[in-house]
Amino acid sequence: MRQRHDIEVGEGGAARRIAVLERPGREPPVVWFGGFRSEMAGTKADALDAWAAESGQAYVRFDYSGHGVSGGVFRDGTITRWLEDGLAVLERFAPARPILVGSSMGGWLALLAARALRAAGPSRAPAALVLLAPAADFTERLMWDGFPSEVRDRIMAEGVYERPSLYSDEPYPITRALIEDGRQHLLLDGPVETGCPVHIIQGVQDPDVPWEHAMRLVERLPGDAVQLTLVRDGDHRLSRPEDLDRLVHVVASAVRNAAPDDPAGQLRLTV
C-alpha cells in the first residue's frame, strides 16, 4: 500500500520539508525524478505507480523543495538543493541499488545522483537509468546560451527573469542563483560515467529539449550500454497513452534486466 512520508532536508535556514510517496515492494526500487516545476502527482509518475501497484514493484516518488506539496520556495531552488533533496530520498527509501527514472531536469538530477551513488560504493550504485528528454546542463546549454543579451543582463542585475511557459499561465522565475549554481554540475563537457545501462526516450518534436541535445548526451556515455528511443511525433511531455505504455515497458524491462547481459558500450537506436 502506498505511504506518504515527510522528511527534513538541510540545516538552519536551508531546512525544508520534502514530501515522499513510497510504495513498498520487491527490489530493485524504482525512483522517480520529476522535471523543472513539475509534481510527483503528474501523469507519467502516476502511470508508473499504477504499474508498480499491479506488479508488486517498490516505487518511490517525491516533490523537490518548492515543488508540489513539499516545503520551500521555488525561487530558492538550485540544482545543488534539488540534488540534495533527491539524495536524501534515496538514502532513506532506496538503500538497495535503485533504478532511477528522470524526466527533463530530472534526467540531469538522476545522472548526478548516479555519480554520487557510485562514489558511495558498489552496493549503492544504480542498477539502471531511464531518462525521458534528459535536460542535462539545461541551465547553461538550453537557457543561458540561448538567452538574448537583454535577458542575461536582467538576470545579472535584478537576480531573476520571469520566463514565459508553454505549460502554465504563470511564468517560470529563472534566477541568477539557479544559473550560477548549475555551472557547478555541468556534465556534457566530458565523459558521463554511470556504470549501468541507460535507456533514453526522446521526442523528435520536443521544443524544450531538442533531440540533438539527447544525442550529445549519448556521445558522452562511452562506457555504458545505451539505448536511445526516438519518438518521431513525440513532444516534451511524452504523456500520451502510447508514450506512457512505452515508459512502463522500458522501466519494466530495466527491472527484469537489473543484471544486464549487454556488453558495455553497446548502443541501440529505436525510431
Give the residue numbers marked as catalytic: 104, 206, 236
Query: Which residue do the cell numbers 508488486 mark?
Result: 56
Q: What is the dihedral of CA 23, 79, 222, 258, to 10 degrees?
A: -10
For residues 142 and 209, the answer to whether their CB atoms sit within 8 Å is: yes
The Cα–Cα gap between 45 and 216 comes to: 26
Q: Which residues of 229-238 are buried (b: 16+ CB within 10 A; e: fewer)?
A: bbbeebbbbb
Angstrom CA distances, 126 to 9, 59, 166, stand at 22, 14, 33
Between the two ends of the chain, the Cα-to-Cα distance in Å is 37
For residues 109 and 136, the answer to whether their CB atoms sit within 8 Å is: no
